Amino acid sequence: MVKRKLIIAASLWIALTAAFTVRIQAQEKAWRAGIVTDEFIYEKAPYPQCHSATIAETPKGLVAAYFGGTRERNPDVCIYVSRNINGKWQEPVNVANGIQNDSLRYPTWNPVLYQVPGGELLLFYKIGPKPSDWKGWLMRSKDAGATWSKPESLPEGFSGPIKNKPVLVGNELFCPSSTEGKGWNVHFEVTADNGKTWRKVGPIGKDSGINAIQPSLLKYKKGKILQVLCRSMNRSVVESHSTDGGKTWTDLTPIGLPNNNSGTDAVTLRDGRQLIVYNHVKPADSLPRGKGARTPLNVAISKDGKKWYAALILEDSPISQYSYPSVIQSADGMVHFVYTWRREKIKYVKVDPSKLKLKRIKNEKWPGFITKTTAASNEEE
């Protein structure tokens, strides 16, 4: 009798596991519609770790950048650039390091690419021992990333775009930025001459009681309406709005999308919709600073920045660290993502937005989603 019960229990377990696997596979297929290309930017590299990718479209094709080295914060971490030529990613090239002198070297951090319309390709990055004590630098390319100018130091107190791409607002380039030294604060660094002179806006939302960094800037067709989406310690993506072209901003508030205190990015599509790429993870209250496992990696879309619809799951695995995404829309309408893949490689995904299948996100729940992991996070920055 005992043996029979064990057999029945084992059979039930196998059946439940099979059903769970089938549902997971169906879930993955359902949230992959629209993906055209899914590949790594490189297969092998002379360093064990990489992170914080960025992407831009130039007149000669896509260009991506990221930092790579022994490990984040290690002094040997450098900025690498890879160009996509005729649909193929070229071998990454080391373009910037943190060497100060013969006896002092700092790591580099968070590159951000921006293609000036009809002009240079800009590469912003940081050098310093840690995020609370780094300095902003800028390099320029006149040949779509093939060669670069000498590094330019940004003015004291300016870091440039901290993680996500600048956005042209009128005739000024708004660089979404933030600081981590004395508390987390979001602000904008604005230039009307592509990085020669600068001014600041903010910090914003100082009285909101929310700790946020790494903003993304979105635009709306009506008037001078802007929206910023940020990473936070508050277990949610948070937002702020401006109705005067970025001069003044509302308090920071949650938008109904969970956040695991990891980097996000967003872009305004040409049809006026807003797209965000982020880890749809609600960390447990017990986890410090609102951190959670960096998996899965999701894409959501909204018409108004308030009601969000599930669109894609780029990655979903019990093995964490799919993070720090960057997203743009190219001239042909395709949407391009780059992101950290397990700290081992940089993944590139191209998506046709016309083929996305959307479902409303309610109560911070991804519709019909079964997570593959409940792991806590011990992630770095």
Tens-place pLDDT, residues 131-175: 999 999 999 999 999 999 999 999 999 999 999 999 999 999 999
In contact, 296 and 247? CB cutoff 8 Å: no
pLDDT of residue 369: 66
Q: 221 or 52, which is more confident? A: 52
Q: Global pTM? A: 0.91
pLDDT of residue 22: 36
pLDDT of residue 286: 85
* pLDDT of residue 198 exceeding 90: yes
pLDDT of residue 216: 98
pLDDT tens-digit readout, 96-129: 999 999 999 999 999 999 999 999 999 999 999 9
Ranges of beta strands (E only) in 180-278 are 185-191, 199-204, 212-219, 226-232, 236-242, 253-258, 265-268, 274-278
Give residue 228's identity as a one-letter amino acid code. Answer: V
Work out the number of other CB atoms within 10 angstroms of the CB of residue 312.
Answer: 25
The domain ranges of the chain are 35-360
pLDDT tens-digit readout, 70-103: 999 999 999 999 999 999 999 999 999 999 999 9
pLDDT of residue 256: 95
pLDDT of residue 30: 74
Mean pLDDT for all residues in the chain = 91
Worst-scoring range by mean pLDDT, 9-23, 153-167, 196-210, 321-335? 9-23
In contact, 339 and 325? CB cutoff 8 Å: yes
Report which secondary-structure segment, H or E, holds 135: strand 135-141
Q: 372 or 73, which is more confident? A: 73
pLDDT of residue 100: 96
pLDDT of residue 381: 64
**35-360 to CATH, choices 3.10.20.30, 2.120.10.10, 1.10.275.10, 3.90.79.10:** 2.120.10.10
* pLDDT of residue 2 exceeding 90: no
